[in-house]
């Protein structure tokens, strides 16, 4: 094929969404160049791998899709086209075996991101994909893209462009949200970026903060605004965070925005009814301190001390029945959201109304978007990466149709 007949695509952002798109395009014979401002690709992906790299989740697809809330209808076609099973098969083809953990989450057997990324980059290199690092996109110049590189400004032309620049969490890893104003000026409606899967501020007493900061609160049950999450949280000096908190983070964040604070209700003994817990507390020998009565009833020191921090504290109820009721519904007021820079992900981004069904921008149909730049959010548990892979591939198929 003459060189002039080869179609060209530029991808801005070398995270999972951008790399997934590059693979689909290159396999179809498109010449792909990926630009990324960091010295190495997929920095946030590698950081996620330090915790085992939760790739996706094994739950039934209908339940899986419901995790995307208001964005479900927009993301569903892409995820049905590249399901969690497809993602696991793709990993296997790269020589990376996966397994399902006890929680239903899917991980690589090596529990690391680096072997998967190395195999993936090798595949892309074999397909002719060019990766240009330390190349920061700075805007449009006519129908070309401008980049700031170590050698000065460069202007690049292609048949189609894909942006997969992430949100604004963990900016030191590459996603700092700098693109928002440029896309607004380019005709996109961009919803404000907000922290998602974040921690929350709690006005702990000095005694509780000094004693329990860094301690886990295990096997608890958390609720807010009708939503429920079971699991573990971590007490921090500033407040509370962890997997169960992240599952409620969107609702807590929105309540704080609307009302200035939000009530996090914690069942500190989810495996016992209030009556059963009251009997355990009452069965302690005469003269036993309240703290020891709670410990003998199965509450950990951090759980028992949380009762003193509850909204209607300070102090502990005197009777076993009142203690049990407080432990089954310990209301902790959260007063603020952790900074977006420390959030695991972000909500907001380019609105779905600004996009065509093929992930192209209505104001500029040669420009496509994927991943966390789009207006969606999901809890941790594999849902974030799955949507990034799926939207990257969906956008690539849209690009192929556009240039066909």
Question: Does 243 lie in the same domain as 102?
Answer: no
Residue 76: inside a domain: yes
> Measured between alpha carbons, how far apart are the two ends of the chain, in Å?
15
| Residue 184 belongs to domain with CATH number | 3.50.50.60
Q: pLDDT digit string (tens) for 248-293?
A: 999 999 999 999 999 999 999 999 999 999 999 999 888 888 888 9
Residue 158: inside a domain: yes
Out of 337, 360, 395, pick the residue that ends a domain.
337
Question: Does 234 lie in the same domain as 151?
Answer: no
Question: Does 206 lie in the same domain as 191?
Answer: no
| C-beta of residue 198 within 8 angstroms of C-beta of residue 188 | no
State residue 232 phi and psi, 5-degree precision.
-125, 145
Out of 318, 337, 356, pick the residue that ends a domain.
337
Distances (CA, A) of 396 to 119, 367, 402: 20, 11, 10
Question: Does 287 lie in the same domain as 363?
Answer: no
Question: Does 367 lie in the same domain as 301?
Answer: no
Question: Does 48 lie in the same domain as 13?
Answer: yes
Question: Does 276 lie in the same domain as 145?
Answer: no
Residue 342: inside a domain: no
| 36 CB-side CA count, 13 A | 23
**Domain housing 329:** 200-337
Residue 135: inside a domain: yes
Question: Does 357 lie in the same domain as 332?
Answer: no
Other beta carbons less than 10 A from residue 221's beta carbon: 18
Number of domains in the chain: 2
Question: Does 264 lie in the same domain as 138?
Answer: no
Question: Does 359 lie in the same domain as 239?
Answer: no
Out of 337, 360, 388, pick the residue that ends a domain.
337
Per-residue pLDDT of the chain (404 residues; tens, 9 = 90+): 556 678 999 999 999 999 999 999 999 999 999 999 999 999 999 988 787 899 999 999 999 999 999 999 999 999 999 999 999 999 999 999 999 998 999 999 999 999 999 999 999 999 999 999 999 999 999 889 999 998 889 999 999 999 999 999 988 888 899 999 999 999 999 999 999 999 999 999 999 999 999 999 999 999 999 999 999 999 999 999 999 999 999 999 999 999 999 999 999 999 999 999 999 999 988 888 888 899 999 999 999 999 999 987 767 777 899 999 999 999 999 999 999 999 999 999 999 999 999 999 999 999 999 999 999 999 999 999 999 999 999 999 999 999 98
3 state SS of 368: strand
pTM here is 0.91
Identify which of 393, 355, 401, 378 has the alpha carbon closest to the alpha carbon of residue 83: 393
Distance CA 190, CA 128 (A): 34
Q: How far is CA 86 from the centre of its chain?
A: 20
Q: pLDDT digit string (tens) for 79-131?
A: 999 999 999 999 999 999 999 998 999 999 999 999 999 999 999 999 999 99
Question: Does 158 lie in the same domain as 145?
Answer: yes
Question: Does 186 lie in the same domain as 62?
Answer: yes
Distances (CA, A) of 385 to 20, 381, 396: 11, 9, 17
Distance CA 359, CA 213 (A): 44
For the chain, how big is the Rg over CA atoms in Å?
24
Other beta carbons less than 10 A from residue 173's beta carbon: 17
């Amino acid at each position: 094929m003459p060189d002039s007949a080869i179609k060209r695509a530029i991808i801005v952002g070398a995270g999972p969404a951008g790399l997934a798109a590059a693979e689909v395009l290159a396999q179809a014979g498109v010449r792909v160049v990926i630009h990324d401002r960091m010295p190495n690709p997929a920095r946030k992906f590698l950081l996620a791998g330090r915790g085992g790299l939760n790739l996706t989740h094994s739950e039934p697809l209908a339940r899986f899709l419901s995790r995307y809330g208001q964005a479900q209808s927009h993301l569903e076609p892409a995820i049905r086209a590249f399901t969690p099973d497809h993602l696991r098969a793709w990993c296997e083809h790269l020589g990376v075996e996966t397994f399902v953990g006890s929680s239903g989450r899917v991980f690589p057997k090596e529990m690391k991101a680096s072997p998967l990324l190395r195999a993936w980059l090798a595949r892309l290199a074999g397909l002719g994909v060019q990766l240009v690092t330390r190349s920061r996109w700075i805007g449009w110049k006519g129908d070309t893209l401008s980049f700031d590189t170590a050698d000065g400004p460069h202007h690049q032309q292609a048949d189609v462009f894909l942006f997969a620049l992430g949100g604004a969490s963990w900016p030191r890893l590459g996603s700092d949200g700098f693109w928002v104003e440029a896309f607004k000026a380019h005709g996109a409606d961009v919803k404000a970026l907000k922290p998602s899967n974040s921690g929350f501020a709690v006005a702990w007493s000095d005694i509780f903060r000094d004693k329990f900061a860094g301690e886990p609160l295990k096997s608890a049950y958390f609720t807010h605004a009708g939503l429920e999450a079971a699991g573990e949280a971590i007490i921090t000096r500033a407040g509370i965070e962890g997997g169960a908190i992240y599952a409620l983070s969107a609702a807590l964040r929105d309540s704080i925005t609307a009302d200035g604070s939000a009530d996090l209700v914690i069942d500190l003994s989810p495996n016992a009814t209030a009556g059963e817990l009251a009997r355990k507390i009452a069965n302690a020998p005469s003269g036993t301190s309240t703290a020891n009565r709670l410990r003998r009833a199965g509450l950990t020191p951090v759980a028992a001390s949380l009762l003193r921090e509850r909204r209607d504290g300070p102090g502990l109820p005197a009777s076993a029945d009142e203690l049990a009721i407080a432990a089954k519904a310990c209301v902790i007021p959260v007063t603020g959201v952790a900074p977006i820079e420390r959030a695991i992900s972000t909500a907001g981004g380019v609105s779905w109304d600004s996009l065509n069904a093929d992930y192209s921008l209505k104001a500029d149909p040669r420009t496509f978007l994927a991943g966390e730049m789009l207006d969606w959010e999901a809890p941790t548990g594999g849902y974030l990466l799955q949507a990034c892979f799926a939207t990257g591939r969906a956008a690539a198929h849209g690009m192929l149709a556009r240039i066909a």
